[in-house]
Amino acid sequence: MSASGSASGSALVERALVVAAQIAPGAGAVALVREVSEAVVRWANSTLTTNGHTIERRLSVVMLVPLDGGTGAGVVTVPAPTSLAAGREGDAVLREAVAGAVQAARRGGPARDAAPLPEPSNGASGDDPAWHEGAGETSMAAFGRLAGELGASFRPDEASYGFAEHRVTTSWLGTSAGVRRRWVEPGGSVELNLKDPVTGTSVWGGEGAVDLRTVDVAALVERLRGRLPWGRRQIDLPAGRYETLLPPSAVSDLMIYLAWSMGGRPAQEGRSAFSRAGGTRVGEQLGALPLTLAGDPAAPGFPDLAYTPVLATTYSGDEVSVFDNGATTGRVEWVRDGTVNALAYPRAAAAEYGAPFAAPTDNLVLTGGEDARLEEMVASTGRGLLLTCLWYIREVDPTTLLLTGLTRDGVYLVEGGEIVGEVNNFRFNESPLDLLRRATEAGATERTLPREWKDWFTRAAMPPLRIPDYHMTSVSPGR
Amino acid sequence: MESRDTPAVDPAVDPDFLALPRAALADAALDAARRGGAEHADLRVHRLRTQHLELRDGRVVVAADQDSAGLAVRVLRDGVWGFAAHVDLTPEAAAATARRALDVSSTLAALATERVTLAAEPVHADATWISPYDLDPWAVDVADKIGLLTARSTALLAAPGVDHVAASCVQVKEQVFYADTAGTSTTQQRVRVDPDITITTVDRAGGGFETLRTLAPPTGRGWEYLTGTGWDWDTELAELPELLAEKVRAPGVEPGPTDLVIDPTNLWLVIHESIGHATEYDRAIGYEAAYAGTSFATPDKLGSLRYGSDALTVTGDRTVPHGLASVGYDDDGVAAQEFDLVRDGVLVGYQVDRSFAPRLGLERSNGCAYADSAEHVPLQRMANVSLRPDPDTDRSTAALIDGVSDGIYVVGDRSWSIDMQRYNFQFTGQRFHRIRHGRLVGQVRDVAYQATTTDFWGSLEAVGDRSTWRLGGAFNCGKAQPGQVAPVSHGCPSALLRGVNVLNTGSGS
């Protein structure tokens, strides 16, 4: 990662706020500039397919306009080319964006989530020392190590597929309440899928990293190659309930969906799996294991999962509000010691329901298990299934959070503590709430890459879970 | 539920997009690419305007406009792709982006063990194409739009048993200028809208809730769609509360093999997942193996795979009026076409772009390249993949229902999931009406149906006639890494399928 020649977004934010004050003097205003520099490479059938290096920059203006009976909110996002930062043409675009947001706010009427913009808090004031710095940048050089190790790994007796990306997102957030924050978030991932053309066996693994040069691709390849022989014995099993070991990636995809479903207002209004007669499920003990599902900007124990504790959003919804832009966010324990502990509330909804303000977290860590690693849990299994990851997860019943999906890239039969062969894939119907109720063992928490939701959520650390009766509803011939 | 169709006026490409220095950008980018040794290069200026309106219980939650624009340059040098994009729409940025694309191409060339060749395409110089719509959503005051959604929300909230109403409308205007080194240059503008209203009833005492969503599909039309052109909103909204009440009262479904009459409002999604994606050639040869998946319908089965019964004839097209994937030219510069995918139950074709057509032995691409933004590279994406109605027999949906002694009529889409080779799928719906002796006798609930693709389509006994045919679709078909979304429509008639496995999602059986 390096600083680019791009103009600082701070100047654009300041100009937008000045224009906002001119057009709507009594209104609250938020200006957010985001620049994304991204490098990607993809391969299939052991050859390069697509790639790219892109730079994208946008300005969002949120106008919070006093109206009869409350405050309305309007949002306009425009491209932010270099020309927007200076000159008469740039000013015209800014004025149009602000005016559009003001008009939308007026037309929309008083907002239910209205609240005064957060005041600057420690570290969130105009004193941000990096406020005037330029954008971070990545380049194809991010793949220097990967390209060498990957190219060397291609073999004629197996097919290699995968994707690697590195992205640097720079954000500048300013508000009429005085918040000025700039933060840079680098991140990337490598995913690898190997297939044995003889057995048809397919294996997958992936790693997330701030710097791709820290990813040992050669070791990842070797780790996956170690699983290919498991496919030499193919075992057909019917649908049914099986003792199942969910590896951290599979657990992450289920817990991410759970967290996405923890809106406070839907629960209070009776339209969520976290509703119950007369209230919400906060305080309900889910299972016997003392598991804690938390998001924490500081990410104790997992420094690569840390994120900037400031809220920046261009949309309001049940969980977030544009009125909360600039708020300092903190640790939220969604589930604590096996009990539903918190739901997501914007500040206005939190006040309405007498609950604490809790913004959706940008990482999720599930803790509370034992020290056992997945391999040790396999060794202590009499008969059960070991999964690799889950795919195509979709909600079937929102009242119970029943999800459906499929196993993918390796289901293995464990007998007597040993993997004895590869099993067909299954479709499952399960609720992550029920899985937390029924889990009988959790292992050691480790950083993992969600297979299904990686495009939207990458910062996760999960333990493997043992489910005594995972519900496989049908067999999938897909591999 | 489809209503009157008014003749489209001829809209024009917006002046602010035409005012961009398109020719200068193309000259700068393509010249730099040629100088760098590219055998092919293309420039795309891609602008996407989106307005998102969302109301909860009659109050605005989201009123947001988003405008994104940028330029993208793709080069092919020594058979290796390189791609780069930038937000600055200047000739200097275009040339620099082309040089960056060349650098990208060379940086990773060592990983390329195959070389890309492109199918030939006639030159389309200075071509313009605009999708048919009557009323540009950006010409309608946002107050009027919010007023319409508010009035509908208020009316529904006043209905017995309706506790919450979520109303939204996403409107998109997509403008693309494409130019390549062969001389093609096209300018296109497409408009689409996705309105949606969901009502919820809450059982405070029992702790449960149930929802019902409108069936109006997203469509390649303008704001006129919200006011009655192409959909009868008044009728649907008037019926919604009672249908929800009936759904709440309904008994759970009896699981097991069941005869299904599937309405187009549900069937389009099955076509999308089990035929649309399965007949993407890039998937069939493994290009999506690590992510979106592959396909059971591999090229060695072309011309022989029994995909379904004789009633199954499926086409791909990018030409159907109001189709979400309809264009004049794709993002390879290929003119829009219509082509067969499944004929009389047998796999006969694939969707391809210019890089995949030669691999399949085709002289010309069938025009399925698309990129969802300037920041993303064009890929083979889905055409409007549609099931042909019965051309020979007059057969209404009621006639299909009449042929079932004990079954279910499935209406509206909801949950969907399919495996990575497009074999095993599970769908739910908005409503499930029990059929007894050819008549609808009330709803059942907690229904999901599971099947293997070829078994399901093999059980297709009959399809309805043209009068039952509707376009369904979605704005958000996902594919590729980095992830891209594509709008796509699927036309289909009602259909009768025998013995499909039905689950009760409430009991888990």
Residue A319 belongs to some domain of the structure:
no
- Among candidates A58, A140, A191 on the partner chain, residue whose Cβ is nearest the Cβ of B290: A191
Judged by a CB distance cut-off of 8 A, whether residue A356 touches chain B is no
Interface of A with B in 106-145 (CB under 8 A): 107-113, 140, 143
Asked whether residue B5 carries a pLDDT value surpassing 70, the answer given is no
In chain B, residues with a C-beta closer than 8 Å to the C-beta of A238 are none
* Mean pLDDT, residues B407-424 taken together: 97
Closest CA relative to residue A264, chosen from A364, A350, A340:
A350
User: Which of B423, B446, B503 lies nearest to residue A477, judging by beta carbons?
Assistant: B423
Cis upstream peptide for A186 (omega within 30°): no
Is it the case that residue A129 has pLDDT exceeding 80?
A: yes
Q: Which of A50, A137, A217 to mutate to test the interface with B (most CBs of B within 10 A)?
A: A50
Classify residue A81: in a domain, yes or no.
Answer: yes
State chain A's mean pLDDT as an integer.
95
Q: What is the pLDDT of residues B250-259, one digit of tens each?
A: 999 999 999 9
| Contact at CB, B423 and A77, closer than 8 angstroms | no
Q: What pLDDT sits at residue B3? A: 43
Tell me the pLDDT band of A191, cut-offs 50, 70 and 90. Answer: very high
Do the chains contact at A56 and B110, CB–CB below 8 Å?
Answer: no
Q: How many CB atoms lie within 10 A of CB A416?
A: 9
pLDDT at res. A423: 98
Using the predicted structure, report yes or no on whether residue A24 has a pLDDT greater than 50: yes
Q: Which of A181, A214, A247 is the last residue of a domain?
A: A214
Q: Are A157 and A54 spatial neighbours (Cβ–Cβ below 8 Å)? A: no
Contact B88 A82 (CB under 8 A): yes
pLDDT of A122: 55
Which of A214, A245, A275 finishes a domain?
A: A214
- Reported as a single tens digit per residue, the pLDDT across A466-475 is 999 999 999 9
pLDDT confidence tier of residue B2, bands split at 50, 70 and 90: very low
What sign results for the dihedral spanned by CA atoms B14, B17, B19, B22?
Answer: negative
> What's the whole-number average pLDDT of chain B?
96
- A88 assigned to some structural domain: yes
B188-197 mean pLDDT = 98
Please work out, in degrees rounded to the nearest 5, the angle formed at the alpha carbon of residue B280 by the alpha carbons of B279 and B283. 115
Q: Which residues of B touch A104 (CB under 8 A)?
A: 63-65, 142
Taking the CA of residue A126 and the nearest CA in chain B, the distance in Å comes to 27
Q: What is the pTM of this model?
A: 0.96
Nearest to A394 among B80, B210, B416 (CB): B416
Asked whether residue A206 falls in the same domain as residue A242, the answer is no
Contact residues, B window 227-286, toward A, CB-based 8 Å cutoff: 285-286
pLDDT band at residue A126 using 50, 70 and 90 as cut-offs: low
Same domain, A80 and A141: yes
Task: Decide if A347 is inside a domain.
Answer: yes
Q: Are residues A193 and A242 in the same domain?
A: no
CA pair distance B395, A310, nearest whole angstrom = 60
How does DSSP classify residue A178?
Answer: S
**Domain total for chain A?**
2
Q: Kindly state whether B291 is in contact with chain A, defined as any CB-CB distance less than 8 angstroms.
A: yes
What average pLDDT does this structure show over B329-333?
Answer: 98
pLDDT at residue number A46: 96
Distance CA A362, CA A185 (A): 12
Asked if B18 reaches chain A (Cβ–Cβ under 8 Å), the answer is: no
Which residue do the tokens 């940086």 mark?
B107
DSSP helix/strand/coil, A349 = helix
CB-based contact B61 A270, cutoff 8 Å: no
**Residue A312 maps to a domain:** no
* 3 state SS of B288: coil
- Is the domain of A199 the same as that of A280? no
Domains of chain B: 15-249 (3.30.2290.10), 256-504 (no CATH)
Nearest to A44 among B82, B108, B286 (CB): B286
**Is the per-residue pLDDT at B492 higher than 60?**
yes
Considering the domain architecture, whether residues A9 and A71 belong to the same structural domain is answered as yes
pLDDT at A1: 42
| pLDDT surpasses 50 at B177 | yes
A286 and A210 in a single domain? The answer is no
To the nearest whole Å, the CA of B471 is away from the closest chain A CA by 23
Rounded to an integer, the average pLDDT of A74-78 is: 98
Average the pLDDT over B117-140 and give the result. 97
A5 band by pLDDT with thresholds 50, 70 and 90: very low
A63 contact residues in B (CB cutoff 8 A): none
Chain-chain contact of A81 with B208 (C-beta, under 8 angstroms): no
Q: How far is B182 from chain A (nearest CA, A)?
A: 22
Nearest to B419 among A72, A75, A478 (CB): A478
A269/B contact by beta carbon, under 8 A: yes
Chain CA centroid to CA B452, Å: 22
Nearest by CB: A55 against B68, B86, B210: B86
Strand partners, A344: A263
- Same-domain status, A339 and A469: yes
Mean pLDDT of all residues in B88-105:
97
Asked, for residue A222, whether it belongs to a domain, the answer is no
Q: What percent of chain A has pLDDT over 90?
A: 94
| Nearest residue in A to B106, CA atom | A140
Average pLDDT over every residue of A451-461: 96
Q: ipTM value of the model? A: 0.95
Please list the residues that pair with A389 across neighbouring strands: A408
pLDDT digits (tens, 9 = 90+) for B285-305: 999 999 999 999 999 999 999
3-state helix, strand, coil in chain B (%, to 5): 25, 40, 40
Of the residues A214, A246, A278, the one at which a domain ends = A214
What is the tens place of the pLDDT at every residue in B13-65? 999 999 999 999 999 999 999 999 999 999 999 999 999 999 999 999 999 99
Judgement on whether residues A117 and A181 belong to the same structural domain of the protein:
yes
Q: What is the pLDDT of residue B6?
A: 41
Q: Is B92 on the interface with A (CB under 8 A)?
A: no
User: In residues, how long is chain A?
Assistant: 479
Is the same domain home to A143 and A238? no
**Contact at CB, A78 and B67, closer than 8 angstroms:** yes
A143 vs B108: CB contact, 8 Å cut-off? yes
Please report, for the domain that includes residue A117, its CATH number.
3.30.2290.10
Asked if A51 and B104 come within 8 Å (Cβ–Cβ), the reply is yes
> B-chain residues within 8 Å CB-CB of A316?
61-62
Mark yes or no for CB contact B481/A163 under 8 Å: yes
Chain B neighbors of A110, CB-CB under 8 A:
59
Q: A-chain residues within 8 Å CB-CB of B64?
A: 74-77, 104, 314-315
Same domain, A286 and A168: no
The DSSP call for residue A247 is P
Task: Report the distance separating Cα A247 and Cα A472, nearest Å.
Answer: 16
A474 within some domain = yes
Q: Which helix (H) or strand (E) holds B457?
A: helix B453-458
* Contact pairs from chain A to chain B, CB under 8 Å: 284
Q: Is B253 exposed, middle or buried (0-12, 13-18, 19+ CB in 10 A)?
A: buried
Q: Which of residues 167-226 of A touch B (CB under 8 A)?
A: 191-193, 195, 202, 204
Q: Which residue in B20, B209, B502 has the most chain A C-beta atoms within 10 A of its own C-beta, making it the best mutation to test that interface?
A: B209
Pairwise CA distance, residues A429 & A435, whole Å = 11
Q: CB A270 to CB B505 under 8 A? A: no
Q: The tokens of A253 are what?
A: 């995809």
List C-alpha distances in Å: A32 to A13, A58, A159, B86, B373.
7, 8, 44, 19, 21
**In which domain, by residue range, is A54 found?**
2-214
Could you tell me if A267 and A183 lie in one domain? no
A401 in B contact zone (CB under 8 Å):
no
Is position A219 within any domain?
no
Query: Is the confidence at residue A4, as pLDDT, over 90?
Result: no
Closest CA to A291 of A361, A341, A249, A245: A341
Give the per-residue pLDDT at A88: 76
Asked if residue A198 and residue A248 are part of one domain, the reply reads no
Is A5 an 8 Å CB contact of chain B?
no
State residue B348 phi and psi, 5-degree precision. Answer: -130, 0
pLDDT (mean) for B260-273: 98
Q: How far is CA B99 from CA A165, A252, B462, in A?
A: 21, 40, 56
Average pLDDT over residues B360-389: 98
* Contact call for A427 and B211, based on CB within 8 A: no
End-to-end Cα, chain B, rounded Å: 34
